[in-house]
Chain A
Amino acid sequence: MTASSMTVQVKFFASLRETLGTSQISLTVPFESTVDMLLEKIQETYGRDNPLIDIRNVRVAVNQQIVEFDEAIRQDDEIAIFPPITGG
């Protein structure tokens, strides 16, 4: 990790967790990254042509609050990416 980058933990849930085969990954992204940039990085990592990783159809929570994709992320944020919730 260089001074201009940071490492974030990203959790996945439900179908996304199954598709990616992991419930949590650690990613290194540039400082002052946004959620959008993080999603881009995940697509690069897991393959853009995977139809189940439809980035426009996921929800993102930062520190357990649903956020828009232009939200900035910071070191140590708890980031979670998941499909739309089904409810109880």
Chain B
Amino acid sequence: MHSVLVQEKDFSVQDEWIACRERLEGKAGAVVSFIGLVRERSDTGNVSSLYLEHYPGMTEASIERIVVKAQQRWSLLDVVVIHRIGELQPEDQIVLVIVASAHRADAFAACEFVMDLLKTEAVFWKKETGDEESVWIESTLDDVSRSREWQE
């Protein structure tokens, strides 16, 4: 069981959790969630806004592939991914990942795995606006190495 959503509007962690909990019907023993936020500072300076562009259809499919990989690797009961697009400001929620499993080890590992792969394999382009200019950014080396570690 899983769901992938790419949307402009904000999400409610509480609403998503309530819906997830109902779907689990008592089978889960562990749920791990991750919420990503827009930071007010990046490696290059202050961030006044972050713009996320996606390719409708292809982006959703790229996230589905990541979720399916996680489901093949661990025993999972539910995976929820909501990723926002468009113009975001510091403090805004940008991504939600919820992973449910019978035991906590699977949920912890799979949640981190999904997040690490989202940073490198999901089809998004990000543009950061700082104090003066807007720059299209690239995956950081740290993101790439974290993603690679799962392949070893």
| A and B part of one assembly | yes
Q: Which of B52, B58, B63, B137 has the most CB of A within 10 A?
A: B58
With beta carbons under 8 angstroms apart, the residue of A17, A61, A88 that contacts B124 is: A88
Task: Decide if A13 touches B125 in the complex (CB within 8 Å).
Answer: yes
8 Å CB interface, B69-93 against A = 83
Question: CB-nearest residue of chain A relative to B66?
Answer: A88
Which positions 90-141 of chain B face chain A at CB distance < 8 Å? 94-95, 118-127, 136-139
- Would you call A64 and B118 a contact (CB within 8 A)? no
* B57 at the A interface (CB under 8 A): yes
Contact between A85 and B136, CB atoms less than 8 A apart: no
B58 touches A64 (CB 8 A): yes
Stretch of A1-9, A26-34, A40-48, A76-84 at the chain-chain interface: A76-84
Q: Name 30 A/B residue pairs within 8 A (Cβ), A-sorted.
A: A11-B55, A13-B53, A13-B125, A14-B53, A14-B127, A15-B125, A64-B55, A64-B58, A80-B55, A80-B58, A82-B55, A83-B125, A84-B138, A85-B122, A85-B123, A85-B125, A85-B139, A86-B137, A87-B118, A87-B119, A87-B120, A87-B121, A87-B122, A87-B139, A87-B143, A88-B36, A88-B52, A88-B94, A88-B118, A88-B122
Question: What residues make up the interface of A, taking CB atoms closer than 8 Å to B?
Answer: 11, 13-15, 17, 61, 64, 80, 82-88
| B residues adjacent to A (C-beta < 8 A) | 36, 52-53, 55, 57-58, 61, 63, 83, 94-95, 118-127, 136-139, 143
Q: Which 7 A-B pairs have the closest CB atoms?
A: A14-B125, A64-B58, A88-B118, A87-B119, A15-B136, A88-B122, A86-B126
